């Protein structure tokens, strides 16, 4: 019985001693942890930079959309003013024609005006 208890004790003691980490193993684990932390910090900085760039691009896109809306409103107002000044305001939708199809763009109109 004493021999069995002694054998179990030796087995547990050797398992405990062999399972302990050495100082070199602990330093390797610490080094890996430091590398992982550095990579995580770099990834965080890159993500913050990307977010700032995306926000700046969104602001520029919003400004471009606002400018386009203002230009469209101005163009519609100018078209309406041109139509009303020419006496062509009929209350219905207006058709836009290319410049070369207008009477001023045709050669016949120019020749008649020269006479």
What is the CA angle 35-41-47, rounded to 5? 135
Rounded-to-integer distance, Cα 39 and Cα 31, Å? 12
Who contacts 85 (Cβ-Cβ below 8 Å, separation ≥6)? none
Specify the residue for token string 């390797």. Answer: 28
pLDDT at 89: 47
Identify the three-state secondary structure at position 91. coil
**Per residue of the chain (115 residues), what is the pLDDT tens digit?**
778 887 787 877 776 656 666 788 889 999 999 999 999 999 999 999 999 999 999 999 999 999 999 999 999 999 988 888 876 545 555 555 555 555 555 566 666 666 5
The structure tokens listed for 90 are 């009929």
pTM over 0.95: no
Give, as one character, the DSSP assignment of residue 115.
-
DSSP string, 22-53: PHHHHHHHHHHHHHHHHHHHHHHHHHHHHHHH
């Amino acid at each position: 019985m004493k021999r069995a208890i002694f054998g179990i004790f030796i087995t547990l003691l050797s398992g405990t001693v062999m399972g302990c980490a050495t100082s070199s193993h602990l330093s390797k684990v610490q080094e890996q942890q430091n590398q992982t932390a550095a990579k995580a910090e770099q990834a965080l900085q890159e993500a913050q930079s990307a977010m700032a760039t995306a926000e700046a691009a969104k602001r520029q896109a919003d400004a471009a959309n606002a400018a386009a809306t203002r230009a469209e409103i101005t163009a519609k107002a100018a078209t309406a003013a041109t139509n009303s000044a020419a006496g062509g305001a009929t209350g219905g939708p207006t058709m836009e024609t290319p410049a070369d199809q207008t009477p001023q763009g045709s050669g016949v109109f120019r020749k008649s005006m020269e006479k």
